[in-house]
Amino acid sequence: MKIGILGTGNLAAYLVQGAQQGGHQFVLSPRGTAKAADLAARFGCAVAASNQAVVDACDHILVCLPAAEGLAVLRGLTFRAGQEVCSAMAGASLEDMRAAIGPATATLSMMPGYANAFSAGPTFLYPANSDWAAFFAACGPVHEMTDARSFETTAVFGGMSGASVFLMRHLAAWYEAEGLDPATARRLVAETLRGNAEVLLQSNEPLDAICKGVTTPGGITEQLLSDLGQDGALDSWHRAMTRVLHRMAPARKG
């Protein structure tokens, strides 16, 4: 496919890199000229003269604009019937997108971004769309949601993913402070969490059973969990993610 990208920032760069095996052509908006020029040099992308030129040149448009201004930018553009527009903007509802880009067809997406550059990050789509599912499949697993409420809930993982990178940095910093060299500390944290992720993906055991299996009574895991619990560290994730959900879906409050 020829994919037009509105908003040429980090997310666009990650998706262009991850989708290379798909053989797509990319037409980039001129916003963020240095980033667009870099992607043109590295991956052979075309850079359009304007956002409208991107829309005019492509039947498939991927929206990576900043959430605060993205809908306003889209309302200033002219789309045509038959175009497929996929929004990766957090907080923009399907109704908002349809109103902004009609008569084109709207789809919502959420992905971690950086992990997609290495074809390792999941993408969630709503509603189901075979063209966009095929495109994102080169960037990692694709999950098509059947209702808006489920998509709103899954979309919180965009923030969860980013926050988990900061958590990994925090853990690696502890090991460094205790004398490990930075490279070893980084690999220790990454390989540990990757290993545990594989357990969740490959084991059929319930999560509670897995947790019980990795916790020895009186052991160091139990001690660490007890200390984290006393500080409210784990519950704070629950509260913070709920606030993100309410920001993205105000009607879910209460």
Residue pLDDT, tens place only, 147-167: 999 999 999 999 999 999 999
Whether 210 and 120 share a structural domain: no
How far apart, in Å, do the first and last CA atoms of the chain sit?
43
Tokens of residue 221, six digits: 């895991």
Whether 174 and 118 share a structural domain: no
User: Does residue 173 lie in a domain region?
Assistant: yes
Q: Tell me, letter by letter, the H, E, C secondary structure of 114-173.
A: HHHHHCCCCEEEECCCHHHHHHHHHHCCEEECCCHHHHHHHHCHHHHHHHHHHHHHHHHH
Whether 90 and 197 share a structural domain: no
Q: What is the CATH number of the domain that holds 96?
A: 3.40.50.720
**pLDDT tens digit string along 46-101?**
999 999 999 999 999 999 999 889 999 999 999 999 999 999 998 899 999 999 99
Whether 54 and 172 share a structural domain: no
Report the alpha-carbon distance of residue 146 to residue 152 in Å, rounded.
Answer: 11
What would the mean pLDDT of 174-192 be, rounded to a whole number?
98
Query: Among 107, 124, 146, where does a domain finish?
Result: 146
What would the mean pLDDT of 125-147 be, rounded to a whole number?
97
Q: What is the CATH number of the domain that holds 191?
A: 1.10.3730.10
Query: Among 146, 166, 197, where does a domain finish?
Result: 146
Report the alpha-carbon distance of residue 199 to residue 136 in Å, rounded.
Answer: 24
Give the residue, 183 or 33, on which the prediction is more confident.
Answer: 183
What would the mean pLDDT of 121-147 be, rounded to a whole number?
97
User: Does residue 152 lie in a domain region?
Assistant: no
Whether 138 and 13 share a structural domain: yes
- Assess whether pLDDT exceeds 60 at residue 254: no
Sheet containing 2-6: give its strands across.
46-47, 25-28, 2-6, 60-63, 84-87, 105-110, 123-126, 142-144
Whether 164 and 73 share a structural domain: no
User: Does residue 151 lie in a domain region?
Assistant: no
Whether 130 and 37 share a structural domain: yes
Give the residue, 90 or 143, on which the prediction is more confident.
Answer: 143
What would the mean pLDDT of 25-49 be, rounded to a whole number?
91
Q: What are phi and psi of 80, to 5 degrees?
A: -130, 160
Whether 97 and 140 share a structural domain: yes
User: Does residue 153 lie in a domain region?
Assistant: no
Report the alpha-carbon distance of residue 110 to residue 86 in Å, rounded.
Answer: 10
Binning pLDDT at 50, 70 and 90, where does residue 251 land? confident
Task: Give the global pTM.
Answer: 0.91
Give the residue, 142 or 249, on which the prediction is more confident.
Answer: 142
Query: Among 96, 117, 146, where does a domain finish?
Result: 146
What would the mean pLDDT of 204-211 be, rounded to a whole number?
97
Its domain, for residue 223, covers: 158-252
Whether 7 and 119 share a structural domain: yes
pLDDT at 164: 97
Structural domain count of the chain:
2
Whether 15 and 59 share a structural domain: yes
Residue-averaged pLDDT of the chain: 95
User: Does residue 111 lie in a domain region?
Assistant: yes
Binning pLDDT at 50, 70 and 90, where does residue 32 land? low
